[in-house]
Structure 1
């Protein structure tokens, strides 16, 4: 049975049983505790937490999930993936244990002809929580499972929570016995390779308190409603029904391995080390493609860092298997072909996905080249010192800075005739993981208590009147202060106000919230901000300036008209810049985020390279030509599929409802899904002036612009500045660029001559330093303060020159400068001095504290900087003492 059919059968089974089919959420949701969606229940959390009333009592979905807790172990086991599909059925106060067990058993054991999976009931085992006698009896009654195939397990295995205070409860897991060839008898307790978990039924009935880990928390009591949350692993069911040995050999994963065999010349199934690399490619390629599809770009932190690691592990695994050419495009194409039937976006957005993945591959191949040079230099030093072990700290730097995994370093070391201090490396890795784990734990916190708003979320969406009017009569539904509902608020208080209707825009879609007023008889309130709760309830954050506001009051809510005018210019201007970018750079230039406010906009978009000055000029010209054309701005509401078929642009990672609002400017010039406020015609935007562009991470760039009067003010300021420069240079404005270029060139020549003169003066001092050399034991030592103003680069040149004048005689040169409030220093030891035991880096450790400095380098040369010039005499004394100690 193919994986796509397994998904479809699951959904059909529960839809026929009365469940509402819910589409998978994006892998990136706005949750402070999650990097990625990692379970099927995540999008339903507000219902389980009681923050919102669900629009249905039962639901079913197949959720995209990513778990990256231990990427290094991917492929080592054959049942885990970083990306997987979690099929689930959910009950919000409807059926409970008996219903969940009956539904699961029917789907698993019904024949294929009857819509089931056709599993042999005799090979299914279940586990229940230690004291869950109720679940045990239901399994016996409803499924006929005998006592010997029902095992009780503790809290760590069979009690579920989100890891933070909130809903929790016992669970019952369903396992399939793969047979004696896969392990020892005795059920899941004996061997979880032979007995494979395929479905977990969570009986969410209690509320947990604070605690750490899976089993170290207090159970506070029962929930108001008993809920069901289940998760069936689609990939695990697939490899069982497809009669293959593991998830990597299923119909959606094995094709990537086959492609890797073609590209590398290696064979899967020959040895375990190579098999792990094949599985890494197959797993990570799928995960990376799904993440990019949902809007993640490679970067140096958070989600972007995870994606970068995945892509780089693909590259190096292919390289270690024998690939001698870039191969990312081939893997991404296979993932598209296999996964698109369930996720059509992989086909429709393929060019963008491919561009991001291939761009990161190219960047990493360059990084690999740089890292290889570092490895070669360090390996040469190790061999020059007569050693055979490549240091663990150096291996860690290669991993942390260049993305070299330890197996790549091991292979390169072996080729160089060296071994690697793996214990030292793994110790440093363990320290890093511990810090990361502690940091992640510190960031976790209980979900914000939004129960105060639940009544209003259930009541329905706040009526937004701001598209048609700036002033609206409304009724005060609630006042909230410090998370507590209050009946009144008086002058001087800052509170939250919930109205039944409002013209004030709540921050969303990159547009910041409106400001305005709430007034009534004797009442004046300043609205500072407006935010949405659950995308339904407008919460006005206000300061009461005069009078008293009371729940139930009839008031007048008004938007600041000048603010709204500027805001609409900024938001419509953003759409114009987006359309212009796509015209100039191509249709794959997709939005990564935006911010617009009165008179200003910024727009982030997917791009691998810096924009040229000509591209920026073209983008600005296209946008302003559209402004001048005075296009009509049309808005209308339609269903999501129709909007997409019309070509409306949507924001990646955003979950849209069945009905969406489309903003169309100039026909197909610009058509986007957008809930923001806009001008009525493009000419009302006014002049758009691009301020420039910059990088905001790998594969993402940002443009910023002023619009309307702010654009005029900016250009007026620039014109005045140009006029001032022209006057100072005594040339017409149009000749300023050429004149400035001449001056810059003359300045460069003068600075170069000055540097040459300075360098000559520094080197002229070398002789006097040689004359001051002291004999310490069997070597010569120059330990002196350089003339004030000599910087680090000149010190290095001077030290190298002095050292060279001593020929083959053991010599050490230590120079400390005093420049711009800092104390640069250089330590140089020739080969003969090193053979006597002197290492430049060791001497830095001896004198560095005296000047508040630190630095490092190789045995022959080390340099750095301190901050305390008063410590120079003490530092030089420390050098002499340390050299004397070494020299005996």
Structure 2
């Protein structure tokens, strides 16, 4: 049975049991503390905790998931995958243990010709929480599984929680498939043997979890407002069992990539060695990357982008270990797309964009590999020249951190060079980096308010936004939050969050900054300045307000007042963002899709998928198309409609955004610009006034950013440029059309003058050389010239003078160490001749110890080496280090 068919049957079964079928959410998690959607229940947590009223009593979904905490185990076990699909059925206070157990058993054991999966009950085992007599008895009542195959286990395996305080928790019951004695020992799931594959987890959510106790357990804060059911079925695990293969990597959605990788490498899969693991890693990671890019993730150096980049580079590394050093993504990604398109048609529709991003990342890393190889070669040469048998762990860490080299790749290269790697130093630096990352994550989590404080207010209903048509609105205070806790009132001088039943103030979302404005009330003489407007939970708006005068209390009537000037300018900027997006597609083609945006009064920026800088001509064309749309005075039309109808009209959605069944479509110039957007906009494009493109830059290997001033700010920027041109024409005494030529001429004259000065400085240095050589001292049978040269034109002068000095000192053992100061920073060069090297002198070693004194670093070969630093005043101490090292030989 194909994986897509398992998905179809699962959803059909629960739809027949009156469950609402909910489409998969994005792999990009809405939770700011979590990068990815890691389980099928994640999108439903607000309903389970009661923070947001559930729109349906029971639901079912097949959710796309990504987990990277076990990435090193991928390929080694039959069940660890980075991307996987989790089917789930959920009840929000509707049914509980009995029904959940009955549904699971029925679907698993119903014959395939009747719509089920056809598992034999004799192959199934069940586990329950050790104290859960209720679940144990339901299994005996509702299934044919005997008591001896229902095992009671502890909290470490059969008690589930959402992983953080405020989330749901409760006992669970897991269903396992016994693969038979050929796969391991007898004894059931309690043995924790790979023979028993977990295929379904039924979680009985009854409690709200509290803080960790420090020993792996956590406190329970009490019963949830309603008992919920969350279940998870692993489609990949079900698939490899029903398809009669040994692991998830051999299923229909993964095996084609594995086979193509084997063909490219000439390796044979199935021998049970390291090659099998590498081929599985390639197959898993290609599919995972395909799905991440589909959901809008771009390779980067942090967060989600770093995870994607790591997956892609692990593919390249494993293909290298399989003997393939050329680009392979154009061979592997189309195969993965073909395997996944039946279940996820979007991977085929969007494959041009997906493949462009993946292929560009591979080419970038192949170039990075070349750069890293050069650094590795230099470090390896220095280690061997210094008589060492191991590569410095700091070098291995730099290769990992800066160039993306996995440590095992560095170790492989070191072994080829006859070296080990100082793993202790590498591991120490890695631990420091991990601790820094954890501390940063803890700080981010600590900065977030406990969202549970909003649940009572959200239960009263959604905050109505009336600001599309009204800038002032009457409202009622339904809640006040101070320092993360609900309070009944606030007075002048306090800054609090105020929850209203409706508001005219726009909350930051969709790339648009929050409105500026105020709250006021005749009751208590209240006046409040709005500092921020956010949506802490779905459907609820929180106003951060500085109480300027009077008092405010729950149930008070207040008036929300939008700063009309700021709103107008913000709307101009947001509408301009849509125009530039459409102009980009006109100029570059449909691949230039928006990946992110930010706009506020007078300013906008837009990130879009593209891998090359825009030429000056393209930027000019982009600006002209945008302002032409402004001049054409297009009507800006907003309409609410179903998501399917909007897509049918060609409306564009932003990757990673979550849309409901009813969406708001903003149309400008008919089909020229149709986008799903909840922001505020002008009524006609002429109201934008002017768009001034001020910058275009890279924000990643496959992402570019354009920035623009809009409206009054655009005019002000042009006026400032005009004033500057006037000042230049006056100062240079040339007409405006000759300013550029005159400035270019002056710049050329300045370059020539600087070049002549540098030549004179270099000649002056060379003239001092005889005097410097006369100052040579004897150290350990070597003539040593160690001198601070003072201010020099550049580091090249120090190097050329050191090499010339070495030549003049002849064939007798000689060492030259010169330090010069260029642009306020020191530069050191050490040169040795063959006779000095025969006595043990090593230029690289001397530069290394001297550069530390200068506050920097450096190195090189034994004959000549170069370094630098930040503190030129330490030149004497640096030269002393050189002399001391020579004396120690």
CA distance in 1, matches of 2:303, 2:528: 40
Change (3 A) 1:453 1:121: same
Matches within 5 A, 1:795-806: 795-806=798-809
Where structure 1 has 5 or more consecutive residues not aligned to the other structure, the ranges are none
Change (3 A) 1:805 1:274: farther
Contact 1:169 1:204 in 2 (8 A): yes
Q: Which moved more, 1:602-611 or 1:778-787?
A: 778-787
Residues 155-214 of structure 1 show CA distances to partners (whole Å, capped at 9, x for unaligned) of 322222233223322222221111122122222233532111111222223343332778
3-state SS, counterpart of residue 572 of structure 2: helix
Matches within 5 A, 1:150-549: 150-166=150-166, 167-211=168-212, 215-270=216-271, 272-323=273-324, 325-381=326-382, 393-413=394-414, 418-421=418-421, 423=423, 427=427, 431=431, 434-435=434-435, 438-439=438-439, 442-443=442-443, 445=445, 448-521=449-522, 522-549=525-552
Contact 1:163 1:214 in 2 (8 A): no
The answer as to 2:712 corresponding to 1:709 is: yes
Residues 108-129 of structure 1 show CA distances to partners (whole Å, capped at 9, x for unaligned) of 1111122211111111112223
The answer as to 2:96 corresponding to 1:96 is: yes
Q: Which moved more, 1:806-815 or 1:1-10?
A: 806-815
Q: Which moved more, 1:461-470 or 1:22-31?
A: 461-470
3-state SS, counterpart of residue 374 of structure 2: helix
Match in the other structure for 2:87? 87
Residues 805-834 of structure 1 show CA distances to partners (whole Å, capped at 9, x for unaligned) of 334433222223355554433333444434
CA distance in 1, matches of 2:430, 2:326: 34
Displacement, 1:743?
Answer: 2.0
Matches within 5 A, 1:829-848: 829-843=832-846
Contact 1:686 1:707 in 2 (8 A): yes
Change (3 A) 1:853 1:327: closer
Q: Which moved more, 1:582-591 or 1:488-497?
A: 488-497
Q: Which moved more, 1:192-201 or 1:715-724?
A: 192-201
Match in the other structure for 1:63? 63
CA distance in 2, matches of 1:392, 1:868: 26
Residues 304-350 of structure 1 show CA distances to partners (whole Å, capped at 9, x for unaligned) of 11111111222233344344642212322122212122222212211
3-state SS, counterpart of residue 190 of structure 2: coil
Residues 620-648 of structure 1 show CA distances to partners (whole Å, capped at 9, x for unaligned) of 00011111111111111110011011011
Change (3 A) 1:582 1:850: closer
3-state SS, counterpart of residue 706 of structure 2: strand
CA distance in 1, matches of 2:824, 2:48: 60
Change (3 A) 1:199 1:833: farther
1:570 counterpart (569, 573, 576) = 573
Contact 2:169 2:209 in 1 (8 A): yes
CA distance in 2, matches of 1:574, 1:298: 24
3-state SS, counterpart of residue 815 of structure 1: strand
3-state SS, counterpart of residue 459 of structure 1: coil
Contact 1:155 1:214 in 2 (8 A): no
Displacement, 1:63?
Answer: 0.9
Match in the other structure for 1:38? 38
CA distance in 2, matches of 1:386, 1:557: 75
2:630 counterpart (627, 631, 652) = 627
Match in the other structure for 1:116? 116
CA distance in 2, matches of 1:486, 1:244: 59
Change (3 A) 1:266 1:125: same
Q: Which moved more, 1:273-282 or 1:712-721?
A: 273-282
Residues 129-158 of structure 1 show CA distances to partners (whole Å, capped at 9, x for unaligned) of 333333333323322323332333333222
Displacement, 1:856?
Answer: 4.1
Contact 2:761 2:793 in 1 (8 A): no
Change (3 A) 1:70 1:810: farther
1:675 counterpart (674, 678, 685) = 678
Displacement, 1:268?
Answer: 2.1
Contact 1:155 1:215 in 2 (8 A): no
Match in the other structure for 1:689? 692
Match in the other structure for 2:702? 699
Change (3 A) 1:429 1:478: closer
Residues 529-563 of structure 1 show CA distances to partners (whole Å, capped at 9, x for unaligned) of 32224232232222333444444344433222212
3-state SS, counterpart of residue 668 of structure 1: helix
Match in the other structure for 2:731? 728
Residues 264-316 of structure 1 show CA distances to partners (whole Å, capped at 9, x for unaligned) of 33332246222222112211111111111111111111111111111122223
Displacement, 1:727?
Answer: 1.8
CA distance in 2, matches of 1:96, 1:134: 11
Change (3 A) 1:556 1:388: closer
1:825 counterpart (828, 835, 857) = 828
Change (3 A) 1:880 1:264: closer
Residues 553-578 of structure 1 show CA distances to partners (whole Å, capped at 9, x for unaligned) of 44433222212221111111111111
Change (3 A) 1:875 1:377: closer
Match in the other structure for 2:659? 656
Q: Which moved more, 1:832-841 or 1:689-698?
A: 832-841
Match in the other structure for 2:773? 770
CA distance in 1, matches of 2:70, 2:429: 12
Match in the other structure for 1:756? 759
Contact 1:510 1:593 in 2 (8 A): yes
Match in the other structure for 2:646? 643
CA distance in 1, matches of 2:799, 2:31: 52
Match in the other structure for 2:77? 77
CA distance in 1, matches of 2:370, 2:873: 43
Change (3 A) 1:564 1:875: closer
2:818 counterpart (815, 820, 831) = 815
Match in the other structure for 1:136? 136
Change (3 A) 1:512 1:413: closer
Change (3 A) 1:559 1:386: closer
Displacement, 1:769?
Answer: 2.2
**TM-score w.r.t. length of structure 2:** 0.93
CA distance in 2, matches of 1:851, 1:409: 30
CA distance in 1, matches of 2:823, 2:392: 37
Q: Which moved more, 1:851-860 or 1:279-288?
A: 851-860
Residues 561-614 of structure 1 show CA distances to partners (whole Å, capped at 9, x for unaligned) of 212221111111111111101110111111111111122111111111111111
Q: Which moved more, 1:452-461 or 1:340-349?
A: 452-461
Matched residues, number = 885
CA distance in 1, matches of 2:563, 2:301: 40
Contact 1:356 1:699 in 2 (8 A): yes
When the two chains are superposed, the root-mean-square deviation of aligned CA atoms in Å is: 2.7
Displacement, 1:445?
Answer: 4.1
CA distance in 2, matches of 1:372, 1:878: 31
CA distance in 2, matches of 1:388, 1:492: 67
Match in the other structure for 2:615? 612
Contact 2:812 2:835 in 1 (8 A): yes
3-state SS, counterpart of residue 577 of structure 2: helix
3-state SS, counterpart of residue 655 of structure 1: coil
Match in the other structure for 2:23? 23
CA distance in 2, matches of 1:399, 1:506: 41
**TM-score w.r.t. length of structure 1:** 0.94
CA distance in 1, matches of 2:430, 2:551: 59
Residues 79-129 of structure 1 show CA distances to partners (whole Å, capped at 9, x for unaligned) of 211100111122223333322222211111111122211111111112223
Contact 1:582 1:588 in 2 (8 A): yes
CA distance in 2, matches of 1:35, 1:161: 18
Where structure 2 has 5 or more consecutive residues not aligned to the other structure, the ranges are none
Contact 2:391 2:422 in 1 (8 A): no
Contact 2:397 2:430 in 1 (8 A): no
